[in-house]
A and B are shown apart, each in its own frame.
Chain A
Amino acid sequence: MKSATAASTTAPRDVTSFSLGLALPLGAAFAIFFVLPLAQLFYLSLHNDTAATVWGLGQYIKFLTDPFSLSVLGATLLLGAEVTLACLVLGYPIAWLYQRSGSRVQTLIIMIVLLPLLTSVVVRTFAWIVILGRQGIINSVLQSLGLIGTPLRMIYTQGGLIAALAQVQMPLMVLPLITAIGRIDPNLSDASASLGAGSWRTFVKVMLPLSMPGIIAGCTLTYAAAITAFITQSLVGGGQMLFMPMYLYQQASTLQNWPFAAAISIIFLFAVLAIVALFSTLGRRARGYGDAR
């Protein structure tokens, strides 16, 4: 009982919180192994030569004036948008179904959605090679139905890549949507219906706006994951389509051009941060919009 009396005689200490000092070990580890390397990356990108002796913005100018580099950046950002849209269109109904199902079906849906999230990304991508390949399931079905004579080329195409990425990243969209739709008061849909709005109208005017925070969160995660998905991009996209992660890797690894690779990383990093910031601004506005109703 000694400690109790000691605690009560001294100034009222807050027993419900913990010392900030507990964050020190991780803070120090992050300072050394996360912040310092990124700072060095930035430092290196500000040099014009591969030996990093001449200061300058040469690497950035090289990237931003090179039509090829810019097209790689553009293709990457576009790919992210296409995959995000596909995930939203396919993922929203899953979240909707989840909220209307009994608890057994709910667990089943969650397990189905989580499975790809936890399965190795190489395995998931490999599965798409099997599906989209010349002897794959789609080609065999179409051929046996007599719809096509020769096998279609689906792997190494933009469409195949979008399908594969959408499947790989779908959980990141569905999980926040399930949370957001679950928070909507079901009475609101009933109210909308009893005031004469049809299901589609209620969906567009009530459900979509109210689930906007989940949509924004899901889009942010899916987008960031899709544009950095190195393995899927390289295996399903093939050599013809080049995206930022592979471009970065080639410059760093094959060509050993570290300052240029560093500049690509920084540009890519800021592109991702800009997109995330854009989404979170939209998210804040959407929350205000949702609250106002």
Chain B
Amino acid sequence: MSRRQKNFEALSFQIVMTVIAVLALILIVSPSLVVVIVSFTSGFSLKFPPPGYSTRWYVELWNAWQLQFAARNSVVVALWSTGLSVVLGVAAALAISRSKTLTAKLLDSLFMSPLVLPALAFGLAALMFFSLIGLPISLLTLVIGHTVVCVPYVVRNTVAALAQLEPTLLESSAILGASRLYTFRRIVLPLIRPGIISGAFIAFMSSFDNVPVSLFLRDAATDMLPIRMWQDLEGKLDVTIAALSSVLIIGTVALMAIMERTTGLSKRLTG
């Protein structure tokens, strides 16, 4: 191959790859941007571009008590599920991360399995189980169901953080006379804290956004936000949902920025 041919070839490769990458990135971002723009429409439909701009749908959102009720429930369930996931998940991660026994490996697979299994099947199973043992559907059953599907994120992130922990630090601490609890509090916990926080963050977001489990474990009295939004959208295309979506998108971006600053979320997720 001549040098010129080779340059052309290298250039063609780079152009094709870059163009696809940029298009794909636009594809990823544009839906969120479109929603934010449409939410400021002055019209009654989701026409894009909007005929005019106003904040009327945000005023509408302020009065949408059904959505607010569902949002409150979702936040409460997400907070409890995240709390439970952190307590149970960090303890389990400590136990399995440094053990090479078969039990630890099996437990690891068990704790990770909700990520792979269709959550809808688990939602149905949980509903049948709760009705069998006579536990009525409530926020409690939602918290239990959500914890099962959210705890893997905490376990995975904590195990990853523990894997980077130098064993010599623990040995040094023990040699210097620190008790195991003291070593845990002063050495282990501070070093794995970013891992725990990013796991908790992802657990919170996935509980807040959970559909397959909530679908079976909620009723009118324990309405959850994603389900409420889904049912509203099935019925009619309401611009109030666009306003709510924008609020959620902007909230997510703000949380992501905070997480990036405090724990370096992006580096954590790309390993």
User: A residues near B, CB below 8 A?
Assistant: 1, 3-4, 7, 15-27, 29-30, 33-38, 40-41, 44, 89-91, 93-94, 96-97, 107, 109-116, 118-131, 133, 135-137, 140, 166-167, 170-171, 175, 178-179, 182, 196, 198-200, 203, 224, 227-228, 230-231, 234-235, 244-245, 248-249, 252-253, 258, 261-262, 265-266, 268-269, 272-273, 276
Q: Is the CB of A129 within 8 A of B233?
A: yes
Q: A121-B211, A228-B119, A276-B116 are in contact. Are A97 and B48 (CB under 8 A)?
A: no
Q: Is the CB of B9 within 8 A of A199?
A: yes
Per-residue A-contact encoding for B120-149, CB less than 8 Å = 1, 0 else: 111011111100100000000000110110
Q: Is the CB of A198 within 8 A of B9?
A: yes
Taking the closest CB of chain A, its distance from the CB of B20, in whole angstroms, is 4
Report how far A25 CA is from B91 CA in the complex, Å: 8
Q: Is the CB of A18 within 8 A of B95?
A: yes
Report how far A47 CA is from B77 CA in the complex, Å: 34
Taking the closest CB of chain B, its distance from the CB of A148, in whole angstroms, is 16
Q: A4-B175, A203-B13, A231-B230 are in contact. Are A126 and B35 (CB under 8 A)?
A: yes
Report how far A287 CA is from B159 CA in the complex, Å: 23
Q: Is the CB of A170 within 8 A of B28?
A: yes
Residue B220 lies at the interface, judged by CB distance under 8 Å to chain A: no
Residues of chain B in range 82-128 having any CB-CB distance to chain A below 8 Å: 87-89, 91-92, 94-99, 101, 103-104, 107, 110-111, 113-114, 116-122, 124-128
Q: Is the CB of A114 within 8 A of B48?
A: no
Q: Is the CB of B122 within 8 A of A34?
A: yes
Report how far A128 CA is from B266 CA in the complex, Å: 26
Q: A16-B170, A94-B24, A110-B266 are in contact. Are A122 and B211 (CB under 8 A)?
A: yes
Report how far A166 CA is from B204 CA in the complex, Å: 24
Report how far A20 CA is from B106 CA in the complex, Å: 12
Report how far A135 CA is from B50 CA in the complex, Å: 10
Q: Is the CB of B110 within 8 A of A122?
A: no
Beta-carbon nearest neighbor of B169 in chain A: A16
Report how far A211 CA is from B82 CA in the complex, Å: 34
Q: Which residues of B contact A133 (CB under 8 A)?
A: 46, 237
Q: Is the CB of B256 within 8 A of A137?
A: no
Residues of chain B in range 20-52 having any CB-CB distance to chain A below 8 Å: 20-25, 27-32, 34-35, 38, 45-49
Q: Is the CB of A245 within 8 A of B17?
A: no
Beta-carbon nearest neighbor of A43 in chain B: B128
Q: A130-B38, A198-B1 are in contact. Are A245 and B120 (CB under 8 A)?
A: yes
Q: Which 10 A-B pairs have the closest CB atoms?
A: A127-B31, A199-B13, A23-B95, A37-B129, A265-B121, A93-B21, A22-B95, A37-B125, A17-B98, A16-B167
Other-chain contact of B248, A19, A20, A96, A119 (Cβ < 8 Å): A119
A26-B92, A115-B256, A120-B225 given. 14 additional CB < 8 A pairs?
A17-B99, A22-B92, A23-B95, A34-B148, A90-B20, A118-B202, A119-B32, A124-B31, A175-B269, A198-B1, A199-B10, A199-B13, A227-B118, A272-B116
Q: Which residues of B contact A269 (CB under 8 A)?
A: 117-118, 121
Q: Is the CB of B122 within 8 A of A131?
A: no
Q: Is the CB of B10 within 8 A of A123?
A: no
At the interface, is chain B mostly helix, strand, loop or mixed? helix
Residue B242 lies at the interface, judged by CB distance under 8 Å to chain A: yes
Q: Is the CB of B110 within 8 A of A30?
A: yes
Beta-carbon nearest neighbor of B202 in chain A: A118
A-B interface pairs (CB < 8 A), number: 304
Other-chain contact of A41, B34, B121, B237 (Cβ < 8 Å): B121
Q: Which residues of B contact A127 (CB under 8 A)?
A: 31-32, 34-35, 245
At the interface, is chain A mostly helix, strand, loop or mixed? helix
Q: Which residues of B contact A124 (CB under 8 A)?
A: 31-32
Q: Is the CB of B209 within 8 A of A121?
A: yes
Report how far A244 CA is from B270 CA in the complex, Å: 31
Residues of chain B in range 134-187 having any CB-CB distance to chain A below 8 Å: 144-145, 147-148, 151, 155, 167, 170-171, 173-180, 183
Beta-carbon nearest neighbor of A52 in chain B: B128
A-B contact pairs, 6 of them (CB 8 A): A22-B92, A34-B110, A110-B270, A115-B253, A120-B252, A126-B241
Taking the closest CB of chain B, its distance from the CB of A152, in whole angstroms, is 14
Q: A130-B242, A131-B31, A235-B233 are in contact. Are A252 and B216 (CB under 8 A)?
A: yes
Q: Is the CB of A116 within 8 A of B32?
A: yes
Most buried by B among A33, A37, A135, A248: A37
Q: Is the CB of B122 within 8 A of A40?
A: no
Q: Is the CB of A115 within 8 A of B170?
A: no
Q: Is the CB of B121 within 8 A of A114?
A: no
Residue B54 lies at the interface, judged by CB distance under 8 Å to chain A: no
Q: Which residues of A contact B226 (CB under 8 A)?
A: 120-122, 231
Taking the closest CB of chain B, its distance from the CB of A33, in whole angstroms, is 5
Q: Is the CB of B34 within 8 A of A175?
A: no
Per-residue A-contact encoding for B247-271, CB less than 8 Å = 1, 0 else: 0110011011000100001100111
Q: Is the CB of A27 within 8 A of B29?
A: no
